[in-house]
């Protein structure tokens, strides 16, 4: 530990040692600061944290970085591979570069900020997490998303919000096409206010009024007898 | 699973380090494919009218000199040969189509691994570290290399079922994924003259490209045609005499990442395979888009064509 906190160089330590050290932090303990050097695309960096701390990762990470995160603020100064912040519970995960597919999948709470682009299936099966993407998202983003918000400052790929439940989607750019049962909805004052707060939390200076809102038409919730011929 | 890596050296001054740069990429993909390993190296082009062949026979006492003598008699040409572990590199001046026909004849006492003027493919069952060491990969020089670590799903773990699959002259294909319509396609391609050597789905993709290109399609056009005709999951990397191409299926479940600097362009299943390349911290790193052909050719920049959008509509 130096003046700025704990430093973990992954050329000197294994990811398992890093994660064990993070898991040893007491859940109610004082916040600590961590730096992770030379991640070199390693998988499962800073996964399963259950304590208030800040973790700064210097470089690109592999799969499932900051998965299941609780309380911690994890910043990746690089790109992240598949499954970034998968099933995160609370806290903040921020990636300065791009995120590969399934970023924020099944996330239950907290805030995930992707400053670059996210690829396919961003926020798949979202369950309460807020995701703010400064760039674009790939196809099938927010697929079957149940709760939480996906905010896309750039463009969205094909089949956005397919089979959506009650998650809300905001998009500022163009959308290739909407998935089944996803429709545009009115952007009312309460949505503008909530979106302004979320953009501020994500430290993105864009007017909320520039976004359009999308949600579920709720037509897939129940079997429709009109569709009986389709089976 | 399966791991794919590709490296093209834009700066010819690096060519003497190809193996040293490429081997760690391949070894980093061990967890993705511990069953078998293979790689294609592009180097030492034969002069026009020359052919370079890699053949394989697992027997330790196999007489490669007899194969060379047989080719000398058959093609009236001097044949150079150099056995490397279970493989043998042979060179001769002869018509490539004729050589291909002769080598692929029934009951030849060897398997044909690659044919072309630039390409050499080496592949074997075993961990990447073992296979790289068998063929002394770290010392290899050349302009580019494509590699594969296999976790078998669709067919047996054999040398013939290992990647890369050679697809016509100087072409090879490596595949991460699985094709679901390969049996039907295999029967169709066999009618079009393709000679299959394995039950492997990836060989079907390789033969498919070969058949399309023999019909006159460019590599890029053949790959866009593949998007329509191949059903299943795939990330392909295709090596050519002067570069390589990358294609992912429209669902894009199988990973791929590309990186480019003024010195080199590289692709891999995962970023960690690129993490040791010199200057990678300053590289442009991106994920290839689904259903988009990326082609890198000598002297050019990596380019992506979204022609599939036009074709699909």
Tell me which residue of B85, B147, B149, B143 sits closest to B117, measured CA to CA.
Answer: B143
For residue B246, give the CATH number of its domain.
Answer: 3.60.20.10
Determine the pLDDT at residue B297: 76
Rounded distance, CA A21 to CA A221, Å? Answer: 44
Choose between B28 and B219: higher pLDDT: B28
User: B181: distance to nearest CA of chain A, Å?
Assistant: 24
Residue B107 within a domain: no
B273: closest chain A residue by CA: A41
pLDDT grade for B291, boundaries at 50, 70 and 90? very high
Least confident span in A217-231, B235-249, B258-272: A217-231
* Per-residue 3-state assignment (H helix, E strand, C coil) for chain A: CECCEEEEECCCCCHHHHHHHHHCCCCCCCCEEEEEECCCCCCCCCCCCECCEEEEEECCECCCCCCCCECCEEEECCCECCCCCCCCCCCEEEECCCECCCCCCCCCCCEEEECCCECCCCCCCCEEEEEEECCCECCCCCCCCCEEEEEECCCECCCECCCCCCCEEEECCCECCECCCEEEECCCHHHHHHHHHHHHHCCCCCCHHHCEEEEECCCCCCCCHHHHHHC
Q: Which residue among B257, B272, B287 sits closest to A40, beta carbon to beta carbon? A: B272
User: B123: distance to nearest CA of chain A, Å?
Assistant: 27
Paired tokens of A15 = 């990811």
Residues B131-151: what's their mean pLDDT? 97
Determine the pLDDT at residue B301: 52
Q: Which residues of B touch A59 (CB under 8 A)?
A: 281
pLDDT > 70? residue B313: no
Residues B192-216: what's their mean pLDDT? 92
Contact at CB, A81 and B255, closer than 8 angstroms: yes
Residue B115 within a domain: no
Residue B298 within a domain: yes
Determine the pLDDT at residue B310: 32
pLDDT > 70? residue B261: yes
Residue B219's H or E segment, with its range, is helix B219-229
pLDDT tens profile B71-129: 999 999 999 999 999 999 999 999 999 999 999 998 999 999 999 999 999 999 999 99
Q: Does A123 touch chain B (CB under 8 A)?
A: no
Choose between A5 and B292: higher pLDDT: B292
What residues of B act catalytically? 2
Residue B110 within a domain: no
Q: Which residue among A79, A82, A97 sits closest to B255, beta carbon to beta carbon? A: A82
CA distances from B237 to B182, B200, B210, B244 (A): 18, 17, 14, 7
Its domain, for residue B157, covers 3-38+143-312
Residue B52 within a domain: no
pLDDT grade for B1, boundaries at 50, 70 and 90? confident
CATH class for domain A6-230? mainly beta
pLDDT > 60? residue B252: yes
Q: Does A62 touch chain B (CB under 8 A)?
A: yes
Choose between B277 and B310: higher pLDDT: B277
A102: closest chain B residue by CA: B253
pLDDT grade for B304, boundaries at 50, 70 and 90? low
Q: What is the mean pLDDT of chain B?
A: 92
pLDDT grade for B225, boundaries at 50, 70 and 90? very high
pLDDT tens profile B158-197: 999 999 999 788 999 999 999 999 999 999 999 988 889 8
In order along chain A (231 residues), what is the average pLDDT of each group of 10 residues? 77 97 94 96 97 97 98 97 98 98 98 97 98 97 98 98 97 97 97 98 98 96 79 71
A63: closest chain B residue by CA: B270
Q: Which residue among B250, B271, B281 sits closest to A81, beta carbon to beta carbon? A: B271
Tell me which residue of B292, B161, B304, B188 sits closest to B236, measured CA to CA.
Answer: B292
Q: Does A141 touch chain B (CB under 8 A)?
A: no
Q: Which residue among A41, A97, A98 sits closest to B270, beta carbon to beta carbon? A: A41
For an interface test with B, the pick among A59, A60, A140, A162 (most B C-beta atoms closer than 10 Å) comes out as A60
> What ipTM was predicted for this assembly?
0.88
Q: What's the number of domains chain B is made of?
A: 1
């Amino acid at each position: 530990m130096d003046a700025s906190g704990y430093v973990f160089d992954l050329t000197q330590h294994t990811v398992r040692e890093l994660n064990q050290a993070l898991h040893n932090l007491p859940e109610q303990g004082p916040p600590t600061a961590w730096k992770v050097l030379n991640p070199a695309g390693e998988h499962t960096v800073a996964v399963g944290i259950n304590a208030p701390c800040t973790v700064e990762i210097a470089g690109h990470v592999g799969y499932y970085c900051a998965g299941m995160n609780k309380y911690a603020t994890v910043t990746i100064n690089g790109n992240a591979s598949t499954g970034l912040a998968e099933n995160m519970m609370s806290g903040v995960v921020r990636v300065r570069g791009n995120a590969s597919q399934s970023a924020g999948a099944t996330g239950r709470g907290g805030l995930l900020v992707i400053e670059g682009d996210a690829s396919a299936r961003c926020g798949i099966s979202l369950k309460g997490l807020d995701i703010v993407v400064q760039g674009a998202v790939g196809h099938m983003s927010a697929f079957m998303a149940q709760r939480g918000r996906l905010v896309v400052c750039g463009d969205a790929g094909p089949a956005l919000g397919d089979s959506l439940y009650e998650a809300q989607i905001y998009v500022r750019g163009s959308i290739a096409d909407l998935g089944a049962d996803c429709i545009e909805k009115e952007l009312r004052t309460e949505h503008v206010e909530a979106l302004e707060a979320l953009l501020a939390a994500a430290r993105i200076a864009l007017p909320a009024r520039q976004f359009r809102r999308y949600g579920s038409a709720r037509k897939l919730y129940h079997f429709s007898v009109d569709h009986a011929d389709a089976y | 699973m399966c791991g794919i890596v590709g490296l093209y050296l834009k700066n010819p001054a690096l060519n003497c380090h190809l193996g040293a740069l490429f081997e760690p990429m391949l070894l980093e993909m061990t967890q993705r494919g511990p069953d078998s390993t293979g790689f294609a190296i592009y180097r030492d082009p034969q002069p026009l009218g020359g052919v370079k062949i890699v053949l394989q026979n697992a027997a330790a006492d196999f007489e490669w000199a007899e194969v060379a003598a047989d080719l000398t008699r058959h093609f009236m040409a001097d044949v150079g040969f150099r056995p490397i572990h279970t493989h043998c590199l042979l060179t001769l001046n002869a018509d490539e189509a004729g050589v291909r026909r002769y080598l692929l004849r029934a009951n030849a006492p060897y398997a044909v691994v690659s044919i072309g003027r630039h390409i050499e493919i080496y592949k074997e069952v075993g961990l990447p570290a073992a296979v790289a060491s068998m063929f002394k990969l770290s010392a290899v020089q050349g302009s580019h290399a494509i590699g594969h670590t296999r976790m078998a799903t669709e067919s047996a773990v054999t040398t013939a079922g290992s990647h890369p699959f050679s697809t016509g002259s100087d072409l090879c294909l490596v595949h991460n994924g699985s094709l679901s319509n390969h049996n039907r396609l295999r029967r169709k391609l066999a009618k079009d003259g393709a000679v299959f050597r394995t039950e492997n789905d990836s060989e079907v993709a390789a033969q498919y490209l070969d058949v399309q290109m023999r019909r006159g399609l460019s590599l890029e056009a053949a790959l866009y045609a593949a998007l329509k005709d191949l059903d299943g999951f795939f990330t392909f990397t295709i090596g050519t005499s002067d570069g390589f191409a990358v294609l992912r299926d429209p669902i894009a479940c199988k990973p791929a990442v590309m990186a480019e600097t003024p010195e080199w362009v590289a692709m891999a299943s995962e970023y960690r395979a690129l993490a040791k390349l010199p200057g990678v911290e300053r590289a442009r790193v991106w994920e290839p888009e689904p259903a988009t052909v990326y082609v890198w050719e000598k002297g050019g920049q990596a380019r992506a064509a979204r022609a599939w959008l036009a074709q699909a509509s």
